[in-house]
Amino acid sequence: MATLTVPTTVPSVSEDCEQLRKAFSGWGANEGLIIDILGHRNAEQRNLIRKTYAETYGEDLLKALDKELSNDFERLVLLWALDPAERDALLANEATKRWTSSNQVLMEIACTRSANQLLHARQAYHARYKKSLEEDVAHHTTGDFRKLLLPLVSSYRYEGEEVNMTLAKTEAKLLHEKISDKAYSDDDVIRVLATRSKAQINATLNHYKNEYGNDINKDLKADPKDEFLALLRSTVKCLVYPEKYFEKVLRLAINRRGTDEGALTRVVCTRAEVDLKIIADEYQRRNSVPLTRAIVKDTHGDYEKLLLVLAGHVE
- Domains of the chain, by residue range, sit at 13-81, 84-154, 160-219
Cα–Cα distance measured from residue 266 to residue 19, given in angstroms and rounded to the nearest whole number: 27
Q: Binding site residues, as ranges?
A: 24, 26, 28, 68, 254, 256, 258, 296, 298-299, 304
Q: Give yes or no on whether 13-81 and 84-154 have one common fold.
A: yes
Cα–Cα distance measured from residue 147 to residue 184, given in angstroms and rounded to the nearest whole number: 11
Q: Report which residue type is found at 54.
A: A
Q: Binding site residues for Ca(2+), as ranges?
A: 24, 26, 28, 68, 254, 256, 258, 296, 298-299, 304
Buried-exposed string 143-165: b where 16+ CB fall within 10 A, e elsewhere: ebbebbbbbbbbbebeeeeebee
What integer pLDDT is reported at residue 224 of this predicted model? 85
Confidence band of 256 (pLDDT split at 50, 70, 90): low
pTM value is 0.96
Q: How are beta strands 258-259 and 254-255 bridged, if at all?
A: antiparallel
Q: What is the mean pLDDT of residues 139-168?
A: 97
Cα–Cα distance measured from residue 261 to residue 306, given in angstroms and rounded to the nearest whole number: 13
Angle at 105 between CA 274 and CA 162, to 5 degrees: 55
Please write the tens of the pLDDT for every residue from 72-117. 999 999 999 999 999 999 999 999 998 877 679 999 999 999 999 9
Task: Say yes or no to pLDDT of 126 above 90.
Answer: yes
| CATH code linked to domain 160-219 | 1.10.220.10
Percent of the chain with pLDDT over 90: 92
Quick one: which H or E segment has residue 68?
helix 61-68
CATH T-level topology, domain 84-154:
Annexin V; domain 1 (1.10.220)
In the predicted model, what is the mean pLDDT of the chain?
Answer: 95
What percent of the chain is helix, strand and coil (3-state, nearest 5)? 70, 0, 30
CATH T-level topology, domain 13-81:
Annexin V; domain 1 (1.10.220)
Q: Report which residue type is found at 97.
A: K
CB 307 within 8 A of CB 295: yes
Confidence band of 13 (pLDDT split at 50, 70, 90): very high
- 3-state DSSP assignment of residue 280: helix
Q: What is the mean pLDDT of residues 231-253?
A: 97
Confidence band of 257 (pLDDT split at 50, 70, 90): confident
